[in-house]
Structure 1
């Protein structure tokens, strides 16, 4: 039986995202001289399309989701590799990087679909290569560190190749962090040891540091983050903060600063839907990357907390499906379903955390969408497909 609570909660998040795509884009439509309902109409079409796709895929037999998942992975991977070489009329360059493919009135971001396909590919491959055939359950998997490294090395090389495409050609380190963490979590759930977790975290930190120091705009983002952090530390711990190395900037990073102002201005219950002030030219990309800050101003911390609980409920339902699916050495399909639901939950959870911690100044800012809530048809459609696949797989879960 399809997990209806998961379906209804995902639909609720899509509807909330549609509402705020209109409320928060009031200034943007004036700035770009577009019709008042431009962003609402596009998000509404994507939202309805996503809900329909989710329902149709949910009704598919679970066995058929395999072809869909692998097809999404192959097609999106080919598109990501091809984007840098496509003409400007098809692949528009924004901010020095090509991330979207434009076909008439439709713009697609292949990386959003790649995340869903990548999760399915890992689930499919891990169920055959990483989960030991002689173990009675996945938790029983035990390897030497050398054996685990040899087993996971092909995945690391493959991941590194595609992450170079995303981080360098698409200038999108945030997606690299989401996918890298998801790969690591799925490897652990497939039976890898915590030694691999520690080694991978160390290598990941080195790689992220390398990407930062070789990119001037990323260095500036880190400087802006440290500048805001040192101010907060000075307010809370003045004596201790005096010993911390200082970064002096000509002006305060306006994005995070205005994001914090929006959250503070909204207070507990907000200024009311449509009554936000910081969205009127002070907070850039408020309907996309800073949607949580815009929501906090209009519906308050309490309203955003309710939405976060709803998003957390989606993640918990995915993990519940994973936990109720029969797995083991004879249950290859069950292992695939188990790992896919864990991976999809990881993508949603880490995307939200990176965005939320970035706009609040806890970590350096990364331009990554909030699942279901940020404006953007590609991420809504891709996640809807992913949740639809999980709903189909939920038919194999034993809830009683």
Structure 2
């Protein structure tokens, strides 16, 4: 048990160090208003140091206070997300028409990152009280889940409309379904709800011209691989003529290919030099693959696999259902976030612009995930102490 506890902290530290090194390397590209690579190095190092301090400090806080902190974070971040569209331009950072960051004390903070990790504490509390392993009908399970489904639709529907961030909404929804399954909802019933959620997601994409265009671009880039699986008559009806590969995806795949097995060498990547924009954030894995090759890319995937597996394993040692479900929720969130980023940069799924936890540049993601890890380790530590003390 202690090994699992320490392994999580060790992997997070390794990912933070990799992040500092490669955010610095990816910073060697220029455009108007761009930070210097040393500015990226300083900022990401600062975020990582604060993140480590957060994880360490939370080890000193008792379980109940940890949850109270999460509830407070949920309320504050929810209010911030609600009022952000109405704040003056001087307090908000707007990118591509979406307001996702609030300026505060010289830094840009994304409230959604904190809302996401704190929402799992609310779900864990709700599911642990209302759901058990008793066999129920679909109607009964739906009735149990209806309040949280409605709350999710209200909160994250608002986020989708105001922040245009479908990726984060999908991650939270998928994690919520996994938590419900772990709490005792029938797999068959979860599957029905999952199909309904996919139908809703497709409808949202179809009603949004820009998302529909991006979806068609993605289909055009993979149709030659998928369509041969269908009969010829169906192939022609599904084929998009004159389809071109999305600009970012094209350069992402080229960067990964250019890296080959062992890479071009640290700092020697070329696609970061203006070809692949935001390579230090959403496309950092593509930049890493180019500089240290498929071998390095595979090592990063292994690290994340070990991290997710360790978090899920930690859940089996939790002493209460609430702790267990919170661990499952955050572990699932980590898994789906990483899966969506990797799937997006290699064109397996439409690109969603999701940062890689502990790896992509940015303080909000680093600090929010550090809080989640710190609270998980604190809950585990104190639950084990209480267990030993009661023996």
The TM-score with structure 2 as length reference comes to 0.93
Structure 2, unmatched stretches of 5+, are none
- Show the counterpart of 2:333: 347
Give the deviation of 1:306 after TM superposition: 0.8
CA 1:276–1:238 in structure 2 vs 1: closer, same or farther (change >3 Å)?
A: farther
Is 1:10 the equivalent of 2:12?
yes
Alignment of 1:183-262 (within 5 A): 183-233=176-226, 243=236, 245-249=238-242, 251-262=244-255
SS of corresponding position for 1:82: helix
The answer to which structure has the higher helix fraction is 2
- Show the counterpart of 1:38: 39
Give the deviation of 1:33 after TM superposition: 4.6
Q: 8 Å contact 1:321–1:397 — kept in the other structure?
A: no
> Whole-Å Cα distance in 2 between the matches of residues 14 and 231 of structure 1?
38
Deviates more, 1:60-69 or 1:367-376: 60-69
Is 1:264 the equivalent of 2:262?
no
Length, aligned pairs only: 383
Is 1:389 the equivalent of 2:375?
yes
- Give deviations 1:286-313, integer Å, cap 9, x for gaps: 1111111111111111111111111111
Q: 8 Å contact 1:18–1:43 — kept in the other structure?
A: yes
Pick from 153, 168, 173 the counterpart of residue 175 of structure 1: 168
> Whole-Å Cα distance in 1 between the matches of residues 287 and 191 of structure 2?
37
Measured on the aligned residues, the alpha-carbon RMSD in Å equals 2.1
Q: 8 Å contact 2:266–2:291 — kept in the other structure?
A: yes
Alignment of 1:80-91 (within 5 A): 80-91=81-92
Give the deviation of 1:380 after TM superposition: 0.4
Q: 8 Å contact 1:58–1:390 — kept in the other structure?
A: no
> Whole-Å Cα distance in 1 between the matches of residues 129 and 313 of structure 2?
23
Q: Structure 1 runs of 4+ off > 6 angstroms?
A: 236-239
- Give deviations 1:207-241, integer Å, cap 9, x for gaps: 1112101111101111110111124458x889969
> Whole-Å Cα distance in 2 between the matches of residues 249 and 167 of structure 1?
31
Structure 1, unmatched stretches of 5+, are 132-139, 327-333
> Whole-Å Cα distance in 2 between the matches of residues 305 and 252 of structure 1?
25
SS of corresponding position for 2:164: coil
Pick from 370, 374, 387 the counterpart of residue 356 of structure 2: 370
Q: 8 Å contact 2:78–2:115 — kept in the other structure?
A: yes
The TM-score with structure 1 as length reference comes to 0.91
SS of corresponding position for 1:37: helix
- Show the counterpart of 1:331: none
Alignment of 1:137-156 (within 5 A): 140-156=133-149
> Whole-Å Cα distance in 2 between the matches of residues 112 and 385 of structure 1?
11
Alignment of 1:270-285 (within 5 A): 270-285=263-278
